[in-house]
Amino acid sequence: MTTQPSHASPILVTGAAGAVGSIGRNVTEMLLAKGHKVRALVRREDERAQALRRLGAVMRGDLTDLVGMHRAIEGCARVYFGMSVSADYLTATVNTAAVARHHGVEAFVNMSQMTVTQMSISESTDSPQHKLHWLAEQALSWSSLPVVTMRPTVFLDGFFRLFAAPGVRDADELALPMGAGKTSPISAVDVARAVSVVLEDPTPHIGQIYNLTGFESADLEYYARAFSKALGRTIRYRDVPLSGWSEKLLAAGVPAHTVKHLSVMTELNKQGRYDRMTDDVFKLTGQKPISMYDFVKLHAAEFTPA
């Protein structure tokens, strides 16, 4: 027997004011569109929070604040936990999980990472964030909470939009330090769609781990051709040195913890660690994830010179 979608109790969605491709914001909008009450937790008031506030869903709070999370979770039956790359990730996970267990939530949907699938007590990576994700999953398994784990691969919205757009727009180059490895990037919207399906009726999914991959797995030369076709001009892949790429991120104000994580991801891509394909997105949503070609077409203005 499965639970029916409940419109009485609000669903807590964390990370709701995220930046490019925010899963939390998309989950919030999808659930509201289906008639659910949502508490969209944001850390600070800004224009992103204001957009959600107009939908009547915003609550301000800090995932590492014990008292604040009581206010956020009390009365909620279901929780979506997602947080940007952060040195505070493990603290936030355990803090939120402890409060969720205290209030007896019926589902805790945790946003993890694909790399954790290949990690263990003796196998890790050099990314501090990967280690925090692995430890967070261990803590959640010990918690006896009704957890559903989502493990997406590389996001289209990060490497192939945020980081790639300047090079594509200004030099007709897909300039990334990802070597010749293959990857199956997925869009945040497809991940959010899978999460919203689980939150609507979580019972059949409790205890499950979903590995979410994109439409296809290919190397960057292939994806450069997809960019070319979508934009109507030749885009070439240039495998840039990792050191210079990382230094530019640091100079732009990206935290060192995040830069280290992203740098490790590029090294893992060269090793083929993201050359993965599953049909979990289709099984959950009944829709295939968006392809690179369609993603670039959708965001063409960001890749086009002014």
Whether residue 268 has pLDDT greater than 50: yes
Q: State the DSSP code for 302.
A: G
| Cβ atoms 111, 195 nearer than 8 A | yes
Whether residue 149 has pLDDT greater than 50: yes
Indicate the pairing of strand 107-111 with strand 173-176. Answer: unpaired
Alpha-carbon span 127 to 112, nearest angstrom: 14
More confident residue, 6 or 198: 198
Judged by DSSP in three states, 25 sits in: helix
Q: State the DSSP code for 183.
A: B
Of 56-70, 132-146, 292-306, minimum mean pLDDT range: 56-70
Band of the pLDDT at 1, cuts 50, 70, 90? very low
| Cβ atoms 222, 287 nearer than 8 A | no
Indicate the pairing of strand 147-152 with strand 107-111. Answer: parallel
Alpha-carbon span 26 to 4, nearest angstrom: 22
pTM: 0.92
Give the model confidence (pLDDT) of 187-203 as tens digits: 999 999 999 999 999 99
Burial class (CB in 10 A: 0-12, 13-18, 19+), 208: middle
Band of the pLDDT at 2, cuts 50, 70, 90? very low
Whether residue 4 has pLDDT greater than 50: no
Neighbours of 264 (CB within 10 A): 19
